[in-house]
Amino acid sequence: MPFPPLSASSATRSPRPSRRGRRAAALAAVASLVLAAGGCSVDTVAPADARGDAKGEAPRPVDCREARCIALAFDAGPGKDTPELLDILKAKKVPATFFLLGSRHVDRYPDVVRRIAAEGHEVANHTWTHPDLTDIEPHETREELQRTQDAVERLTGRRPTLMRPPQGRTDEKVSEICRELGLSQVLWSVTAKDYATTDSDLIRERTLKGADKDGIILLHDIYDGTVPAVPGIIDELKERGFTFVTVPQLLAPATPEPGEVYRP
């Protein structure tokens, strides 16, 4: 989600929400409905199935066919709190996957994008302006993805190979364009719905409740309650015996296939 909700203090000062606040509320409502109903209308591949069909040597440094792996993924950044998040991940030696939003994020925080890549995290595509890709024309879908691909490559020297469709909504049209652009689609197994709360304890509780082997955790590093919840999430999941990996590591020795939709 590209816009954070209004803070409580802002709501107190202004009885009528701003245009940005109204849009944030609308996007959060849409996302909540989609997350509850499931926005994917195409076949999906589970990480275990992808690994089972793959040939090759055991991946390093971790083999998720044996280890209890889980992937942390952050959507719609980078934002003002992303450097703090990167400090946490570095200190705790946890890799993550960042699905970056182009407009007002990649273009606003280029140094943070470079740092994400330099510190070994997976840099992925979350479109340019966060539209429902199933509800726009094919050329618009292509432009949404291509523009972010180009921006990330200019900053990091590498083109993303993964994308996450906004709100998890995808179809055959989106899949075909992703195949053309060399992008695999990645959904998730658990979300804390952090776009709807600033309560870090609640975000941590929701995340931990849904965490399981081969899971992909969806969080947003642009909302105020999320980054403070991350240390507790990491510590508890490590205590439970989980190993944190990026999405490509979760699928290894399989290589993500362009156009495919991966969902735990």
- In the chain the beta strands, taken as DSSP E runs, fall at 69-77, 97-100, 122-125, 162-163, 184-186, 190-191, 215-220, 243-245, 261-262
Q: Would the CA dihedral through 213, 215, 221, 226 be positive or negative?
A: negative
Distance between CA atoms of 76 and 53, rounded to whole angstroms? 31
Q: What burial letters (b/e) apply to 149-173, b meaning 16+ CB within 10 Å?
A: bebbeebbeeebbbbbbbbbbbbee
Q: CB neighbours (10 Å) of residue 117? A: 17
Residues 6 or more apart in contact with residue 218 via CB below 8 angstroms:
73, 75, 188, 190, 191, 192
Other residues' Cβ atoms within 10 Å of the Cβ of residue 237: 21
Catalytic machinery residues = 75, 220
